[in-house]
Structure 1
Amino acid sequence: MILQSLIAEFEYEVESTRKLLHAVPEKDLRFRPSPVSWTMGELAQHIATIYYWYVGVFTQDVYDMATDSLERGSPDDIGATLELFEKNTEKALKVLKSVSEEDLQKPWTMKIGEKTVLGPLPRAAVVRSFLYNHVYHHRGEMVVYLRSTGNKPPGLYGPTYEDAQQK
């Protein structure tokens, strides 16, 4: 029951993420709202990378970010980021559809080297927090980046503010 809901949410929300990433213009990939912020390209790439982590969540009990590597391409190439997103979402959905309800209750831990940074938590909680909510958080940031550069974000949950002002 929980798994079916998680898969349905994944399939619905991945479309919103796709729309958002397709709205990122090449000309603004180096925009950085503050010295400590990522560039727009780095943020887009990070969003695409989060979908890669589904495989680690469901194939490893302890996932060590320090030993994992992913070829990402340049964050200054939105085409490469969109390609990364599509590959990662395909892998994520495949692994999500391969697990059982029981798998969602098994504990999972994330480390960076010897340091534990998340968990142990049941995988269902990891999916909600580390994967889903993490993407939603960064999508909100991307909307701010787009507006800050004069670009119009797509509507993710109905019309945007900009759409409402045109009526």
Structure 2
Amino acid sequence: MSTDLTTFLDYLDRVHARTRKVILCIPEEHLEWMPAPGRWTAGDQVRHLAGIERWMYAETVSGRPSCYAGHGRELADGLSDVIAYYDRLHEESRALFAALTPEAWSGHTMTPAGAPITTWKWLRALIEHEAHHRGQLYFTLGLVGVPTPPIYGLSEPELRARSTTLATPKV
């Protein structure tokens, strides 16, 4: 990942769009379905993504302490409210990220654990965090049989079909 703020913001927008595409696949009736006791619902995962980006990452890179409040239904309940919460908090976060000065971008941020980290490296962790939870959303939706879009254009079967003209590697 580039260490340039503008490049990061463009990349963040693309990551967010890929995640949002999966979120839009969640049926209302499966939003709060829990795969096992104590596990997160799809709604929990989306609320968590929104809240952690805004109230942990955006706050800490702005020089303030994390004020993450969790992922409960009291934050947003119902599919349309959860999507609106995700979108609103992302826009707020993005605006705070875009306001970073070059000095802040290349300077240090204090994590909630009390460890200093270069700001752009901290925001790189945000991208990894979102990819992790997007994967959980794919898995959760798969458990209830909800079709999801391929992340980069081709599904695995489509890739295999297009790859058949190549020699099959020996194992």
Tell me the CA shift for residue 162 of structure 1: 6.8
Tell me the CA shift for residue 126 of structure 1: 0.9
Structure number having the greater strand percentage: 1
Change (3 A) 1:109 1:8: same
Q: 1:125-154: per-residue Cα shift (whole Å, max 9, x none)?
A: 11011x111111000010000111100112
Q: TM-score, normalised by structure 1?
A: 0.80
For the residues of structure 2 that align with 1:118 and 1:40, how far apart are their CA atoms?
30
Name the residue aligned to 1:143: 138
Q: 1:14-69: per-residue Cα shift (whole Å, max 9, x none)?
A: 111111111111111232222231122211221222331343033225x1437x68
2:29 maps to amino acid: K
Name the residue aligned to 2:111: 110
Change (3 A) 1:13 1:35: same
Of 30-39 and 9-18, more deviation after overlay is shown by 30-39
Change (3 A) 1:158 1:43: same
Percent of aligned positions that are identical: 21
Name the residue aligned to 1:88: 89
Tell me the CA shift for residue 89 of structure 1: 1.6
Contact 1:51 1:85 in 2 (8 A): no
1:16 maps to amino acid: R
Q: What is the Cα-based RMSD across aligned positions, in Å?
A: 2.6
Q: After TM superposition, which residue ranges in structure 1, 4 or more long, deviate above 3 angstroms?
A: 68-71, 161-167
For the residues of structure 2 that align with 1:24 and 1:118, how far apart are their CA atoms?
36
Q: TM-score, normalised by structure 2?
A: 0.78
Tell me the CA shift for residue 123 of structure 1: 1.1
Q: Which runs of 5+ in 2 are unaligned?
A: 163-171
Contact 1:65 1:110 in 2 (8 A): no
For the residues of structure 2 that align with 1:162 and 1:79, how far apart are their CA atoms?
32
Count of residues in Structure 1 that have an aligned counterpart in Structure 2: 157
SS in 2 for 1:108: strand
